[in-house]
Chain A
Amino acid sequence: MDFNWQLFAQYLVIGIATGSLIALIALGYTLVYGIIELINFAHGEVFMMGAFFAATVVGLTGVTATSGTASVVLAGIAGLFGAMAFSAAINFGIDRIAYRRLRSAPRLAPLIAAIGFSFILQNIAIYWKGANPISPPSFLPPEIYTNVLTEWFGLSTTIFLTVLDVVVVGVTIPLLIGLSWFVYRTRLGKAMRATAQDREAAALMGIDINRAIGVAFLLGGALAGAAGMIALYYDNSARFQMGFRYGLFAFTAAVLGGIGNLAGAVIGGLTIGIIWAMSDGFMKEYISGWGAQWTPSVIFAVLVLVMVFRPSGLLGERTADKV
């Protein structure tokens, strides 16, 4: 069978869009790991809470698809920033309540606390919105599903690239650039990097390490909240369990790219998104008997292979003891 470029490109589009989403969540894992070497297992649930809060905010604005472009865009921004603030607050709160007290405890203690918080947040979510999947309040006009390639560029193709796909990637990239700028170009970012390198030395130099760590949690949470809003409308549903699988993939992405490394998290996220789409759809065109049920196996097999040949991930770790 000839290589089907159109189909390949179609799955690439899907992969990049979902990959961007995973990358946003992966950044939260990597930020926190980079600075305190804790794998924040509650991060997937922080993302899920962001999605739920976005649904609430958009619902409160009362904007519908017929309210006009300006209102729709404003409602979208309100949902996005509302979710970011909410998730940032939760993530910061978890650090303040639990992890900070465990800073000098053995490593397992904060890890177990993180798992505990993940369950607590799931149960709060069940109490809040119920256990069934929720549908987001619909405020996006049907044009959001217009095919950009045929309608805007007049191309004759069967590849389906919707406005929503463009928006997903279009929201993700500025957030990534903004984050990198913050970490590498601001004083607070410098303080964070210093804390990551050597906590005690940073404290001796007069850096408020708790503040630097708190900022990492705030930023990670905000990105998770943004991802929550995007996932809510990209997947058109949200559920109390959604954080688990997204979180697992995002954590894998962070490890794949090199945990603690911002660019690595993005590369890892995109890689996983693309592998996912290819395994769900494209591979069965060429391998008979292939199916979506193998997708998690493929993703984790790739992870194992990368870990065997490049133990510090695709782009290498950038944590304290590596620098």
Chain B
Amino acid sequence: MAERVWIGELIAQLHRGKIDRREFMKRAAAAGLSASLISQVVAAHAARAQEGTPASVVGQVGMPGIEHITDTSKGTIRLYSSWPMIAASAQIGGDSAEAVRLALEDFGNAAGGFALEYEALDDAIASTGSWDPGKEAENANRVVSDMDAMVYIATYNSGAAKISIPILNQAEPGPMAMISPANTYPGLSKSTEFNDEGEPDIYYPTGKRNYMRVVPSDEIQGGAAANWAYNENGNRRAYVLHDNQLYGKGLASVFEATFRELGGEILGFEGFDPNAPSYRALMTSIASRNPDLVYLGAIVNLNASKLLQDMRAVMPADRVAFLGPDGLINQAFIDGAGDAAEGAYITFGGVPASALEGIGADWAQRMRERLGHEPDAYAAYSYEAAVVAIQAIDQVQEKDRVKILDAMFATEGFNGLLGTWSFTETGDTDSTTVSLNQVQGGQITFLKRIGRA
């Protein structure tokens, strides 16, 4: 009997990824297991890996050399996420939440002696379909007051992060870690020429940094976009539109400044009303200035599809290029704009799931099987953010928000889905990957990686 239990343990270890297949076969043979039984177990293990829960993922994605602890005797730790989960964001937010769930499953829903639980909060409200400051504050306060909550994986919108970072920063008994898979406004953590006054220090009242992001910020993306437009696509006359939000306007400003610096002409820099039902007059006025490129700093929830539709009614794709940022790299944008989306260029501080390579490609395949569709571009970053949190808990092995925060900040040489990266002292990723994508046949198609210089 004792021997059978021991073999069961061995199989469990194989499934959890504690030992690899060769090691399993060696030990099982030593334990007197028959050859056919061993091959059956190994085959079942391979099939299980194919199904989307390969235990071998532990150690592949993440910081190397951190021991994963699957025991759960110390209690429960909760992770929360907060981003829009309804309306145009239903798929974006849903895919990212599913990516976090997958990360937790890959680590056996445990870390550092604790069982891990996850709850996906929604920071959007139905009446606008977009993130809401009140809702985001409510989410942040809820998480802070949950003593089992150690990490806040949030937000999607930079404007929302502005609200929750200080709330988490002033949490009792100490600042709580917030890690974003998607905020790209530089001023949240960096000092750049595009910051508003007092940024980023105004977000950290206690003086201790508690915010990290695994996505490159907009001075990198906006600069690369302008550089590509001017130097590679040959655009000289650009009209810049933005949605007046922190993210959209910030990115539009970076594009405008870089494009001008390179020698291009900016025909207009203008905010639009995201609630207007039609932009025909606006687009007619833009067309009358004869641009060869329209840059749109906006997210999909703010009527970006309609804007592109109305633009195409007066400015055909063969005459005027459309370039937009990562807030538009999703199926909702394409579905909303219909045929008008064809040929639109979209940049992204990363690469879309379809263009991931190596362990990234494996991950994308597993996500595809879970979701039944192409995962949203940000899902990969959400997965990485969750792994950073899990590994920090594995290192700290106690319920201490500040210690977990410090461990996350110290992430170095992280083997991510897009490549290896580390956090800088401001909590930013040192990755500068920006990709250029185009809508082709109703799909986001990766064209190439682009850079600023």
List residues of chain B with CB within 8 A of the CB of A231.
277
List residues of chain A with CB within 8 A of the CB of B88.
131-133
- Whether A242 pairs with B277 at a CB distance below 8 angstroms is yes
- Whether A292 pairs with B309 at a CB distance below 8 angstroms is no
* B205 interfacial by beta-carbon distance below 8 Å: no
Q: A10-B284, A11-B284, A280-B285 are in contact. List 10 more A-B contacts (CB 8 A).
A: A132-B336, A133-B305, A133-B335, A133-B336, A237-B336, A242-B277, A277-B281, A281-B282, A293-B272, A296-B273
- In the complex, which residue of chain B has the Cβ closest to the Cβ of A136? B338
List residues of chain B with CB within 8 A of the CB of A235.
277-278, 306
List residues of chain A with CB within 8 A of the CB of B336.
132-133, 135, 237
Question: A10-35: contact bitstring with B at CB < 8 Å (1 yes, 0 no)?
Answer: 11001100100000000000000000
Q: A123-B126, A284-B268 are in contact. Are A246 and B281 (CB under 8 A)?
A: no
How close is A301's CB to chain B, nearest CB, in angstroms?
A: 14
A237–B127 CA distance with the chains assembled, in angstroms:
19
Set B90, B284, B306: member contacting A131, Cβ < 8 A: B90
- Whether B281 pairs with A241 at a CB distance below 8 angstroms is no
* B40 interfacial by beta-carbon distance below 8 Å: no
List residues of chain A with CB within 8 A of the CB of B276.
245, 276, 280, 292, 295-296
- Whether A295 pairs with B273 at a CB distance below 8 angstroms is yes
List residues of chain B with CB within 8 A of the CB of A244.
127, 275
How close is B334's CB to chain A, nearest CB, in angstroms?
A: 10
How close is B361's CB to chain A, nearest CB, in angstroms?
A: 28
Q: A235-B306, A237-B336, A284-B268 are in contact. Are A292 and B282 (CB under 8 A)?
A: yes
- Whether A282 pairs with B127 at a CB distance below 8 angstroms is no
List residues of chain B with CB within 8 A of the CB of A278.
281
22 contacts between A and B (CB under 8 A): A14-B280, A18-B278, A119-B127, A131-B87, A132-B332, A135-B336, A135-B338, A231-B277, A234-B278, A241-B129, A245-B275, A245-B277, A246-B277, A276-B276, A280-B281, A282-B281, A291-B272, A292-B271, A292-B276, A293-B272, A295-B273, A296-B275
- Whether B278 pairs with A131 at a CB distance below 8 angstroms is no
Q: How many residues in A have their beta carbons less than 8 Å from beta carbons of B?
A: 39
List residues of chain B with CB within 8 A of the CB of A18.
278, 280
List residues of chain B with CB within 8 A of the CB of A122.
126-127
* A285 interfacial by beta-carbon distance below 8 Å: yes
How close is B420's CB to chain A, nearest CB, in angstroms?
A: 36
* A7 interfacial by beta-carbon distance below 8 Å: yes
- In the complex, which residue of chain B has the Cβ closest to the Cβ of A135? B338
Q: Which of A197-253 contact B (CB under 8 A)?
A: 231, 234-237, 240-242, 244-246
How close is A245's CB to chain B, nearest CB, in angstroms?
A: 5
* B288 interfacial by beta-carbon distance below 8 Å: yes
* B141 interfacial by beta-carbon distance below 8 Å: no
- Whether B270 pairs with A241 at a CB distance below 8 angstroms is no
A160–B442 CA distance with the chains assembled, in angstroms:
29
List residues of chain A with CB within 8 A of the CB of B273.
292-293, 295-296
List residues of chain B with CB within 8 A of the CB of A291.
268, 270-272
How close is B402's CB to chain A, nearest CB, in angstroms?
A: 39
How close is B73's CB to chain A, nearest CB, in angstroms?
A: 43
Q: Which of B236-279 contact A (CB under 8 A)?
A: 244, 268, 270-273, 275-279
List residues of chain A with CB within 8 A of the CB of B90.
131
How close is B187's CB to chain A, nearest CB, in angstroms?
A: 21
- Whether B309 pairs with A236 at a CB distance below 8 angstroms is yes
How close is B444's CB to chain A, nearest CB, in angstroms?
A: 16
List residues of chain A with CB within 8 A of the CB of B126.
119, 122-123, 126
List residues of chain A with CB within 8 A of the CB of B285.
280-282, 284-285
List residues of chain A with CB within 8 A of the CB of B332.
132
Most buried by B among A123, A242, A246, A292: A292
List residues of chain B with CB within 8 A of the CB of A11.
281, 284
